[in-house]
Amino acid sequence: MTLIEFPLNKIPDQPPENYYGNKEYKIFLDSKDKRKKNILEKKATQMLFRIHEGKGIAKYIVGIKDNGEAIGINKSKLYSSLINLHKIVNIINADLKKIRFYTGSSGFIFVAHVSRNIELFDLSFT
């Protein structure tokens, strides 16, 4: 079961995104990129990396630039990002535990907590 919260407080700018760690910043989660055929599979691999870095938990912050600027997105991009997040979570057989909505300087931001049993990871190269 997913907990959904709507505090709608303005979220402050965040520190710049780190390469390592369990936090992933996205302006929005798009599934249509003409240059890449399997964009959702690529994002699923990225999500697995963040989950592994967080020892089973990843935090996705959508509506924030990589530099940490909390700009937000419109309702249409918010809705499509939520749908694509759900698709990515299903690809990797993870659980969406909590979604919390905020506002940014120009729209909405959501923070999603994704979890997966890391004992299921096979990181060997055989």
pTM: predicted TM-score of the whole model, two decimal places: 0.87
- Nearest-angstrom CA–CA distance, 85 and 14: 21
Kindly indicate the confidence band of residue 125, based on its pLDDT and cuts at 50, 70 and 90. very low
The predicted-structure confidence for 91-112, as pLDDT tens digits, reads as follows: 999 999 999 999 999 999 999 9
Q: Domain coordinates of the chain in residue numbers?
A: 3-98
Residues 5-56 have pLDDT tens digits of 888 899 999 999 999 999 999 999 988 766 666 889 999 999 999 999 999 9
